[in-house]
Structure 1
Amino acid sequence: MTDPMDTTRPPPISLIGLFLKFLRFGALAFGGPVAQIAMVRQALVEEERWIAPARFNRLLAVLQVLPGPEAHELCVHLGMMARGRIGGLLAGLGFMLPGLALMMIAGWLYVGWIAGHVGLTGVLLGVQIVVLAVIARAVVRIGQHIIEDSLLAGIAVVALIATLMAVPFWIILLAGGLAYAAAERPFVAVLVLLAPILGAMIVQYFVGTTGAAGPIVTHAPATLAMLFIAGLKGGLLTFGGAYTAIPYVRADTVGRGWISDSAFLDGIALAGVLPAPLVIFATFVGYVAGGPLGALAVTAGMFLPAFAFSILFFERLEAVVANPTLHRLLTGVAAAVVGIIAATFAQLAMATAARVDNLLIAAALFALALVVAWRVKGAWVTPAILAGGAAAGWLISL
């Protein structure tokens, strides 16, 4: 809710000028959401005074509770403040277009020139190993912000186990949210939390199943509608950072046989070095699965919630998010997402290990990358880790 004493407003700006301003932000959006938000804060809060610092902080707090890439949602909302809903649309498009264009080019190069190239097999495998280290560090970082008590930790652990047992993600998220909303009734909370695992055990006992070391591959055709839904699911369920979209996009693409786990990891690696929200990895996945139109379909689904929340609903969001019961529900969902990402990391690690000839060398490379990701900070760290992984993979393959 806007402070009635806050008279700070964006200066007059044309629609073209607004689009170009956020296009520049997008072209310089290296280093992940923290660096991207800091760049926007420096320019529009401290230098041009579009919005008061206190209002900016409240805006960020709301966006961090909601799903979607918060840096992109921030740009949409600031554009809307300047020139209404059309301004929000142009600001969001400007911020995402540089990364989208670069990822489309990367997808084209990958499909046409890189994938299947025998001489690059070792390089790509080295990159995939260190990407696992980056994901592992992200799981811990996200968890540190979300897991604040023993019940939330329990929700994350149950979500991890339930995911590996092939329990549908929506059941896991619902159970996590309801369990934390019922925290004042411990027996009810535990019962709700364990229901997905108990249900999976009953199904396995009476029906039989092979378990879930990874997504169940169905080999359904990659239609544009299904690619759009895969992206939309990721966009709607991105709680706590872009890495939380990984399980849902993977389940709907790798799980349908449209793309391999190795190519999926390559997409995450590319997204880590481009100036864009990390969820742009979905564009690469869509390109590999369905060509240029598939890439655009996934991207449209992924970013649609980020546009919609600010453009259509933001006036009501602060009051809704302030509701304590809803806040606990969302916190429980976020904790379940941590467990789902951890399970997805385990599945990706197993799939990568199956392609490795020397597990000892691969484990050493993973451990070194994890130490660097854990101890070193800066926008250049992820690109440096990926470059190191590529170099190590090339040397090992010689």
Structure 2
Amino acid sequence: MDTKQQEAPKYARKGRVSTLLEVLSVSTKLGLTSFGGPIAHLGYFHNEYIRRRKWMDERSYADLVALCQFLPGPASSQVGIGIGILRAGLLGGFVAWLGFTLPSVIALVAFAFLLQGYDIAGAGWIHGLKIVAVAIVAQAILGMGQKLTPDRNRVTIAVAASAVALSWHTAYSQVLIIIAAGAVGLCLYRKNAAAGVADLQIGISRTFAVCCLALFFGLLVALPLLRSSEEFGWLAMFDSFYRSGSLVFGGGHVVLPLLEREVVPTGWVSQSDFLAGYGVAQAVPGPLFTFAGYLGAMAGGITGAVVATLGIFLPAFLLVVGALPFWNGIRNSPKIQGVLVGVNAAVVGILLAALYDPLWTTAILEPMDFALAVILFIMLVFWKLPPWTVVLAGAAGGMLLGFM
């Protein structure tokens, strides 16, 4: 009896370690293959975490995406952190972020040191990766649309959201679209919201969540007061990137003006180096927020890269950890379910808009580009090949198109 009691915790620890390693393995694979920006990343996540591994049901995934769209910061990274937390606890969220983020950070820091000055923006394989993103997002829209827009009203919400997103480009447009869709969903579906929404198993206490939210706001106020008056210092750098990660909605390209205002006028990075790094950032997988790693490396070497990367992503982690423990109670309310019905339909519409602009408009330039996109889409949807093979096929196809 004593032996069994002593061995049980070992097996529990072994199971937890294996789960963490699984999260790290899957997130790292996504970090190496997820090209195309935050909207495309949601498609990669949907394919890997939901369709293939079924770590969450479709409704819970859509609700998590909706939550992260409301929060400031990199939405796709926050979704990945949330999935990691739901799968393996707080450490699972960190591991999921690390696996998804580290490959692009390493690549961008390497580019900062080794490939600065080379023009790779027009490389054929990069163009092929943009076409891969078109196929990935199209697959995500197909799968999520079937689940989240099954009737006339929800299709209408999705199409209206798509039209507004395409015609109104501001930093807050997506947030306002989601709020409006939630209001419509509340009016139409609050009395007949879907029943049986699965509870998310969140191993985080509300007390700890409140502490994370307090730390988020505390750092936002305290760091500008504490930073050194010197032109360059690690605390000053951390503050600049922390505020950039805290004050942007939509993530991705929206953060670029904030970063430019923080690093160019201070003299940390020249305008030409900033633009060169932005071009390089388009060539690597993973979140665009890892562009901070490049900027930190240019300003302060490896230490600068670490400080900048941690600074820009810490707000995202604190907000997700702070919000998730309250999400179950909120999302299971009948009225909130009605709101989420509208919000989830709007998310499909936003994905549809992103499929056209910027993905389609920057990737499908010739008839052969469209042909390659269709082939990649068929490989994903009908042949059901793993995404990494589609990424390789897209890169090879882009290089081939470059010779034609």
Letter in 1 for 2:368: I
Q: Provide the rounded CA distance (Å) in 2 between the counterparts of 1:364 and 1:34.
A: 22
Report deviation, 1:393: 2.0
Which residue identity lines up with residue 25 of structure 2 in the other structure? L
Matched to 1:229, the amino acid is S
Q: Identify which of structures 1 and 2 has the higher relative contact order when contacts are C-alpha pairs closer than 8 Å and 6+ apart.
A: 2
CA contact (8 A) 2:148 2:344 kept: yes
Asked if the contact 1:174–1:333 (Cα under 8 Å) also holds between the matched residues in 2, the reply is yes
| Equivalent residue number for residue 277 of structure 1 | none
Among candidates 22, 25, 30, match of residue 22 of structure 2? 25
Tell me which amino acid in the other structure corresponds to 2:63.
V
1:176 counterpart residue number:
181
Match of 1:107 in 2: 108
What is the 5 A alignment of 1:187-198?
none
Report the more deviating stretch, 385-394 or 103-112: 103-112
Q: Distance in 1 between matches of 2:53 and 2:359?
A: 35
Contact 1:321/1:327 (<8 A) preserved? yes
Deviation of 1:159 after TM superposition, in Å, equals 0.8
Seen in structure 2, the aligned counterparts of structure 1 residues 309 and 63 have a Cα distance that, compared at 3 Å, is farther
Please say if residues 104 and 283 of structure 1, whose CA atoms lie closer than 8 Å, have aligned partners that are also in contact: no
Aligned length: 295
Does residue 367 (structure 1) correspond to residue 371 (structure 2)? The answer is: no
Query: Which of 299, 310, 313 in structure 1 is aligned with 2:313?
Result: 299
172 and 298 in structure 1: CA distance in 2 versus 1, 3 angstrom threshold: same
Q: Is the 8 A contact 1:131 1:265 kept in 2?
A: no
Correspondence 1:259-338 to 2 at 5 A: 266-267=283-284, 270-271=285-286, 281-287=287-293, 292=305, 293-310=307-324, 313=325, 317-338=327-348
Q: Deviations over 1:194-241 (max 9, x none)?
A: xxxxxxxxxxxxxxxxxxxxxxxxxxxx9414531367x4xxxxxxxx
Q: Please tell me the residue identity of whatever aligns with 1:227.
A: S
CA distance in 2, matches of 1:57, 1:135: 19
Contact 2:278 2:291 in 1 (8 A): no
8 A contact 1:106–1:284 mirrored in 2? no
User: Once the 2 structures are TM-superposed, how far is the Cα of residue 25 of structure 1 from its aligned partner?
Assistant: 2.0
Secondary structure of the 1:123 match is helix
Once the 2 structures are TM-superposed, how far is the Cα of residue 385 of structure 1 from its aligned partner?
1.5
Change (3 A) 1:305 1:158: same
Task: Pick one of 238, 246, 249 that aligns with 1:229.
Answer: 246
Q: How far off is 1:286 after superposition?
A: 4.0
C-alpha separation between the residues in 2 aligned to 1:339 and 1:261? 28
Give the residue type in structure 2 aligned to 1:360: P
Please give the TM-score of this superposition, normalised by the length of structure 1. Answer: 0.60
TM-score by length of 2: 0.60
Distance 2:363 2:87 in 1: 44
CA distance in 2, matches of 1:57, 1:128: 28
Amino acid at match of 2:22: F
1:295 shift after superposition: 3.4
C-alpha deviation, 1:392, in angstroms: 1.8
Give yes or no for the alignment of 1:389 onto 2:394. Answer: yes
1:142 is displaced (CA, Å) by: 1.8
Q: In the aligned structure 2, how far is the partner of 1:319 from the partner of 1:143?
A: 26
Partner of 1:65: 63
Given that residues 24 and 95 in structure 1 are in contact (C-alpha distance below 8 angstroms), is that contact kept between their aligned partners in structure 2? no
Q: Please, which of 104, 107, 122 is the counterpart of residue 124 of structure 2?
A: 122
Instruction: Quote the offset at 1:129 in angstroms.
Output: 1.7
Aligned-pair identity (%): 19
How well do the aligned residues superpose, as a CA RMSD in angstroms?
A: 4.0
Q: Please, which of 132, 140, 164 is the counterpart of residue 166 of structure 2? A: 164
- In structure 2, distance between residues paired with 1:172 and 1:307: 25
| Greater Cα offset, 155-164 or 70-79 | 70-79
CA–CA distance in structure 1, aligned partners of residues 397 and 91 of structure 2: 42
Q: Is the 8 A contact 2:135 2:376 kept in 1?
A: yes
CA gap 1:257/1:322 in 2 versus in 1, 3 angstroms: closer
Equivalent residue for 1:133, pick from 111, 132, 135: 135
Displacement after TM superposition at 1:332 (Å): 0.6
Helix, strand or coil at the partner of 1:376: coil
Amino acid aligned to 2:393: G
Q: Does 1:344 align with 2:324?
A: no
Whole-angstrom distance in 1 between the partners of 2:360 and 2:83: 36
Which secondary structure state, in structure 2, belongs to the residue aligned with residue 148 of structure 1? coil
Shift of the alpha carbon at 1:33?
5.5
1:392/1:180 CA distance change after superposition, 3 Å: same
1:181 deviates by 1.0
Does 2:383 correspond to 1:376? yes
- Confirm or deny: 8 A CA contact 2:46 2:140 kept in the other structure: no
CA shift in 2, pair 1:353/1:90, >3 Å:
closer
Equivalent position amino acid for 2:147 in 1: H
Question: C-alpha separation between the residues in 2 aligned to 1:37 and 1:360?
Answer: 32
